[in-house]
Structure 1
């Protein structure tokens, strides 16, 4: 998640209650309204007073944690609930959206939607090992489909949350365990392709890709012998790693080290006891005008024996972590702790100059003023 270019003030922290079982917070419409979804499918609206009001009950969340997301635009939002593509259109006179859904016969929606050009949403859909992309156009209120070259290596699996580069017409990537789907643009025409990571290689699903200074995305992969960053390009580059580096924007973290570049051999050493059953998990970041990290919101997690475990949907474990803001060589303690079962229990969002972070496990939401 990208934040505004400001830093939370640790001493400004306050707390408030968060709706039970919340799975996503998002803003859409013009002017934007703040909405939330729970795991049970309840759609909520946040009033100016901070009160959350129920709007409508939809289907429960059906995608795995690493795949669930909500895509938004001024005209509304899109997500996947109960195996259906859900479209919520925003009426400028009323915060309550009009909801419609679509099921794809003999096919499965295998990832969250992504917003592409001109208020269009793109959904990946698989039937066996074949994949197509379904588009919903908010302006014309119509659906269309496009075939995709290649085959999904995991015919019963799902893609992780989609990510995009910063091109004028951005490419969109949905990463699976053994291959990934890219929706690109050739001379103004959309094209889709499935690309393999290679034999005996699989992606670690959940961690966000690293973005280098050339705006190339690199995904965390694992082989039988090591972890690595692999670029999402037609001719991939691989950077072997000494462990699972968790990335946020142009920066990655391993043990107590922060790496400002994927090729940097001189990382910043942070004054914190991370490395043995403890990790620094990046949640969100702010950027400079040059797309470099200006600051990163971290949670210092204890009791983690394997970093990828924190991205699983296993609810039998409970993690505990302290929140920090990292900027340059400094680490600011935000005086707040989170209790959560996986990364997907942690909710982060920003409204104006206020930063919010909390856990669906405890229902406590922390708020900081940003300076």
Structure 2
């Protein structure tokens, strides 16, 4: 039997949509403050202070966590019911902003270039809406403001260890998308984002004079062979119908043009949408590296940094998103997005409870809001904030209504 979401009554939906517009000015202020004060992974101290102050002003209870940054806050309804969670990431990127916005980053080399400032303002907005509906709320809503999404091993697992998912039945998340127009969202059932295996690799050779390579072991040559050979894992050892990528984003080694490099350090990541390939990749990478080093007289150190699981969205949660957004804003605003090899540690929550991450459209070419994530020119349309906040707040009611009707 297929799952059929039960929407809140029209009066409540209309109230939520209207309230989202009413608080929009506050959301823009929150978002712009956060955008001007970006902090990278596990350094989000001012961000944490700001978020804590805002949720406490709303009357939410802040739970103590054994983490330097991040916030867990709760809103308890006036009636008994389930616990659901809404998650936002809070960290910025080590990117120097080039948008020219009047509220651009005040910290050189730091920028909210992935929209986490928008996420925080959206989730704060959902909290503000729900506090105004608390008499009708059955159960508890837990707001997870998670640090370190951008830097493996990520902040999701530490938040889980600190009780973020305690008694939670479903979790809602969203991510801004500069490829979807403002006023629309994207959803996808099942596998949506890739697993991540991040690793550091060091090749140890033997230094010598550039003119006498036969007396040395050139770590640069060995590293180059490894980089090329690892691509044959993708083309020859994994089913060609399975999306896989192995990429090195950084290589450094050597000291001078006439000195054979003794050591080369590589920073790599492996991505796939297949759970079986996810298990294979670390073994195949290690086997290839070991074989080439042995053949060339080198040695190596392979250091796993982080693993994220495949992000697989719950069809039931997506049905809630779809029905709720349509109920709020009308038909024709929900699309199906494609799967991709980007990674997201929201997937770690989905290992424990059902949930989904939808995409919130923030594209508006008139203001230049169409650049990709992580670009120094990334701009998000702030007109999207009420859409995201209303969706998250109303989805809580849709879930609790649907749960009672089962």
Confirm or deny a common fold (TM above 0.5). Answer: no
TM-score norm. by structure 1 comes to 0.27
Structure with more of its chain in helix, by fraction: 2
Q: For the pair shown, which has the larger CA radius of gyration, 1 or 2?
A: 2
In proportion to residue count, which structure has more strand? 1
